[in-house]
């Protein structure tokens, strides 16, 4: 909308251990687990109005080819080498146990269900050898530790270049900068990038058939392979290079804070080693954590709001609004049902929805469904339009700097301003005494609503599409231009409006009781 060319890609990480664990538990293949969840994700994205140029997954031939190419290139340049390491092996199951297949008591906080890679209670990263009374999650038996040959990524070789590079990233969020710097200053250790598994990307060398490239090394390559797949699908197979090799391209990685080092250290190190002119990340705007009713989300304990379940009951835009205005950008945040109801009723319905509905239905009724002609503007009208112009600049600027909370706040500031303008001008009174004055106010209000529709489109796409249509305009709202002069000329005096309906439904506070009762309840 701002005129930048954007490629938005992502995908399902199909090789994580939770997938093989689920497959083992249900007695189905990991590929079947992937197929089921990937289809669910695609469906949820669509229902939420979140669109990608490509949302793929990492279980594709293309991804395998790209990963193996990077692996071999790093190996040939000496950035990958082999060494022996001790790994958990279950004699009962006769198999090696990757990190999450081992659980036990955390040596730091005594939590009894700590995993072989991390303790969920104290958050520390662990090695399965550190667990007290470790057990295999498949059979419950104690694991043994056996030597196995694996490939290591020589992260230590990139320590200095990474430290230099992060000095040039003053625009990073403080949480990302701080975590990255402290990680680097602690010294980078080489890490094993393969495991004894049969699910995952094969090692492209003879003699390693029982091993796979581990997920943390290959999943980040998914951003690159997705762009390559997108280009191939578009019929211009070289086109991905514009987004990966042109130095004027900025790449953004939208992630959660538990993934920061993978995107700010490991992936950049891999790109530095691989070379070939690939761009390093421009920004890694990681969010902090979101809790649910002040408790950590847990899918296993059903302490969660399931997207398909939510969308069967409520509209997507109120959820998008709450998650934007309450985004854990700079600190942890909480999702609560009472806040959901409050913000829906007080902000979406009362501030924005009523404004749109009030102006459109009043105009529709009193001006035969047509946009009234404006006569020369007075000072108050001009101030209102200036505010709309400023909001387009401010919201655009905030979005460019990945300050989403600020952006949605600024957009709502314009809606509040428009409400004040209407209250001052009171066209429902002036229509009885000075029809031209009322026409003028409504014309200006419609122009402002046309701007509001644009600044709110990234947050409330379904609402913006409706407003776009009520204003008598055609086509998808995301093809609109983020441009004041264009928007002001678009809703012309004399053009036809469509009969409006309310944008949002006021929610009954009983929703809070009903939804909180369902939390953590296995049967609902
Ligand atoms: Zn712990
Ligand atoms: Zn076992």
Q: Which ligand is nearest to the CA of 115?
A: 1
What confidence category does residue 524 fall into, taking pLDDT thresholds of 50, 70 and 90?
A: low
Question: Separation of 456 CA from ligand 1 center, angstroms?
Answer: 42
Pairwise CA distance, residues 127 & 146, whole Å: 14
List CB contacts of 98: < 8 A, sequence separation 6 or more: 17, 116, 195, 196, 197, 214
Q: What is the pLDDT of residues 59-71, one digit of tens each?
A: 999 999 999 999 9
Give the pLDDT score at 384. Answer: 98
Average pLDDT over residues 402-428: 97
- Look over the chain and give the mean of its residue pLDDT values, rounded to a whole number: 95
Average pLDDT over residues 198-212: 95
What confidence category does residue 289 fall into, taking pLDDT thresholds of 50, 70 and 90?
A: very high
Give the pLDDT score at 117. Answer: 84
Q: What is the pLDDT of residues 314-354, one digit of tens each?
A: 999 999 999 999 999 999 999 999 999 999 999 999 999 99
Q: Is residue 118 predicted with pLDDT exceeding 90?
A: no
Q: What is the pLDDT of residues 152-195, one digit of tens each?
A: 999 999 999 999 999 999 999 999 999 999 989 989 999 999 99
Give the pLDDT score at 312. Answer: 95
Q: Which ligand is nearest to the CA of 131?
A: 1
Give the pLDDT score at 523. Answer: 63
List CB contacts of 129: < 8 A, sequence separation 6 or more: 86, 88, 145
Helix (H, G, I), strand (E, B) or coil at 219: helix
| Residue 59 near residue 35, CB atoms below 8 Å | no
Question: Separation of 123 CA from ligand 2 center, angstroms?
Answer: 25
Q: Which ligand is nearest to the CA of 143?
A: 2
Question: Separation of 286 CA from ligand 1 center, angstroms?
Answer: 24
Give the pLDDT score at 9. Answer: 98
Question: Separation of 135 CA from ligand 2 center, angstroms?
Answer: 8
Question: Separation of 12 CA from ligand 1 center, angstroms?
Answer: 29
Q: Which ligand is nearest to the CA of 113?
A: 1
Q: What is the DSSP string of 320-363?
A: HHHHHHT--SSS-EEE-HHHHHHHIIIIIIIIIIHHHHHHHHHH
Q: Is residue 431 predicted with pLDDT exceeding 60?
A: yes
The size of the chain, in residues, is: 524
Pairwise CA distance, residues 487 & 502, whole Å: 23
What burial class does residue 499 get, using C-beta atoms within 10 Å of its C-beta: 0-12 exposed, 13-18 middle, 19+ buried? exposed
Question: Separation of 16 CA from ligand 1 center, angstroms?
Answer: 22
Q: How far is the first Cα of the chain from the last one, in angstroms, to the nearest whole number? A: 41
Pairwise CA distance, residues 329 & 326, whole Å: 8
Question: Separation of 83 CA from ligand 2 center, angstroms?
Answer: 25
């Amino acid at each position: 909308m701002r005129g930048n060319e954007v490629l938005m890609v992502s995908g399902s990480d199909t090789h994580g251990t939770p997938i093989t664990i689920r497959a083992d538990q249900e007695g189905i293949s990991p590929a079947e687990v992937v197929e089921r969840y990937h289809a669910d994700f695609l469906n949820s994205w669509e229902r939420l109005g979140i669109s990608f140029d490509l949302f793929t997954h990492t279980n594709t031939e293309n991804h395998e080819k790209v990963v193996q190419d990077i692996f071999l290139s790093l190996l040939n340049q000496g950035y990958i080498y082999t060494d022996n390491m001790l790994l958990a092996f279950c004699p009962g199951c006769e198999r090696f146990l990757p990190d999450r297949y081992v659980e036990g008591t955390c040596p730091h906080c005594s939590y009894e269900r700590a995993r072989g890679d991390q303790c969920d209670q104290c958050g520390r990263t662990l090695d399965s050898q550190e667990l007290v009374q470790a057990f295999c999650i498949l059979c419950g038996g104690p694991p043994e530790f056996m030597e196995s040959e694996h490939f290591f990524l020589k992260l230590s070789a990139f320590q200095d270049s990474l430290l230099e590079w992060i000095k040039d990233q003053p625009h990073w969020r403080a949480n990302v900068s701080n975590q990255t710097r402290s990680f680097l200053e602690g010294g980078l250790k080489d890490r094993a990038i393969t495991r004894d598994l049969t699910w995952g990307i094969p090692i492209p060398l003879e003699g390693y058939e029982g091993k796979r490239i581990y997920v943390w090394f290959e999943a980040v390559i998914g951003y690159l392979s997705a762009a390559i797949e997108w280009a191939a699908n578009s019929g211009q197979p070289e086109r991905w290079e514009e987004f990966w090799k042109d130095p004027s391209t900025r790449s953004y990685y939208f992630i959660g804070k538990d993934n920061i080092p993978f995107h700010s250290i490991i992936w950049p190190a891999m790109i530095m080693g691989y070379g070939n002119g690939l761009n390093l990340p421009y920004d890694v705007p990681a969010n902090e954590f979101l809790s649910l009713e002040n408790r950590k989300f847990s899918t296993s304990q059903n302490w969660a709001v399931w997207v398909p379940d939510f969308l069967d009951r409520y509209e997507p835009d109120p959820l998008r609004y709450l998650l934007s205005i309450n985004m854990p950008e700079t600190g942890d945040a909480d999702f609560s049902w009472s806040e959901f109801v409050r913000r829906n009723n007080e902000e979406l319905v009362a501030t924005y929805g009523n404004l749109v509905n009030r102006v459109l239905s009043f105009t529709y009724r009193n001006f035969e469904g047509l946009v009234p002609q404006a006569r020369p503007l007075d000072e108050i009208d001009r101030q209102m339009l200036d505010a709309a112009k400023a909001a387009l600049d401010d919201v655009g600027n905030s979005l460019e700097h990945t300050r989403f909370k600020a952006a949605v706040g600024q957009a709502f500031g314009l809606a509040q301003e428009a409400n004040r303008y209407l209250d001052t001008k009171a066209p429902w009174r002036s229509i009885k005494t000075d029809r031209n004055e009322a026409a003028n106010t409504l014309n200006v209000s419609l122009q402002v609503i046309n701007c509001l529709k644009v600044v709110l489109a990234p947050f409330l796409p379904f609402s913006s599409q409706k407003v776009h249509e009520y204003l008598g305009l055609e086509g998808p709202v995301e093809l609109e231009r983020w441009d004041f002069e264009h928007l002001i000329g678009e809703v012309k005096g004399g053009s036809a409006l469509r009969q409006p309906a309310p944008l949002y439904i006021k929610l009954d506070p009983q929703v809070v009781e009903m939804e909180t009762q369902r939390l953590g309840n296995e049967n609902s």
